[in-house]
Chains A and B, each alone.
Chain A
Amino acid sequence: MGSARMSDALILLNARDNVAVCRRPVTMGERLELEGRSFAAAADVDLGHKIACAPIAPGADIIKYGMAIGSATASIAPGEWVHVHNMRSNYIETHAWPDIGKES
Chain B
Amino acid sequence: MIANGYLRSDGRKGIRDVVVVVYLVECAHHVARRIVDRADDENVHLVGFPGCYPNDYSYRMMRALTTHPNVGGAVLVSLGCEGFDRHALAREIRASGRPIETIVIQGVGGTRAAIDGGLDAARRLRAEMAHTAKRVPMELSDLVIGTVCGGSDGTSGIAANPAVGRAFDRLIDAGATCIFEETGEMIGCEAAMSVRAETPEIAAAITQSIGNAAVYYRAMGHGSFAPGNADGGLSSQEEKSAGAYVKSGSRPINGIIRPAERPSRPGLYLLDVVPEEPPIFGFPNISDNAEIAELMACGAHLTLFTTGRGSVVGSAIAPVIKITGNPHTYRRMSEDMDVNAGKVLEGTASIDAVADEIVDAVRNVVSGGHSKSESLGHREFILTYKSIAPQGPSCHPG
- Hey, which bits of chain A sit against chain B, CB under 8 A? 1, 4, 6, 11, 13, 21-24, 46-50, 62, 64-65, 67-70, 82-84, 87-97, 100-101
In the complex, the answer to whether A70 meets B232 with C-beta atoms within 8 Å is: no
When chains A and B are docked, how far (Å) is the Cα of A65 from the Cα of B248?
Answer: 14
Q: A23-B345, A67-B192, A91-B237 are in contact. List 7 more A-B contacts (CB 8 A).
A: A47-B345, A65-B157, A68-B188, A69-B239, A70-B236, A89-B237, A92-B187
- Hey, which bits of chain B sit against chain A, CB under 8 A? 153-155, 157-158, 162, 187-189, 192, 214, 217-218, 222-223, 225-227, 230-233, 235-239, 242-243, 246, 308, 326, 328, 345-347, 351
Q: A64-B242, A65-B157 are in contact. Are A91 and B236 (CB under 8 A)?
A: yes
When chains A and B are docked, how far (Å) is the Cα of A68 from the Cα of B241?
Answer: 11
When chains A and B are docked, how far (Å) is the Cα of A8 from the Cα of B351?
Answer: 17
Give the residues in chain B near A83, CB-CB below 8 Å. 230, 233, 235
In the complex, the answer to whether A50 meets B233 with C-beta atoms within 8 Å is: yes
In the complex, the answer to whether A64 meets B326 with C-beta atoms within 8 Å is: no
Partner of B154, one of A4, A47, A92: A47
In the complex, the answer to whether B225 meets A95 with C-beta atoms within 8 Å is: yes
In the complex, the answer to whether A70 meets B235 with C-beta atoms within 8 Å is: yes
In the complex, the answer to whether B188 meets A87 with C-beta atoms within 8 Å is: no
Give the residues in chain B near A84, CB-CB below 8 Å. 230, 235-236
When chains A and B are docked, how far (Å) is the Cα of A65 from the Cα of B188?
Answer: 12
Kindly report which residue of chain A lies nearest to residue B245, judged by CB atoms: A65
Q: A90-B188, A92-B225 are in contact. Are A70 and B231 (CB under 8 A)?
A: no
Q: How far is the CB of B232 from chain A (nearest CB, A)?
A: 6
Q: List 11 A-B contacts (CB under 8 A).
A: A1-B351, A23-B346, A47-B328, A67-B242, A69-B236, A83-B230, A84-B236, A91-B188, A94-B230, A100-B230, A101-B230
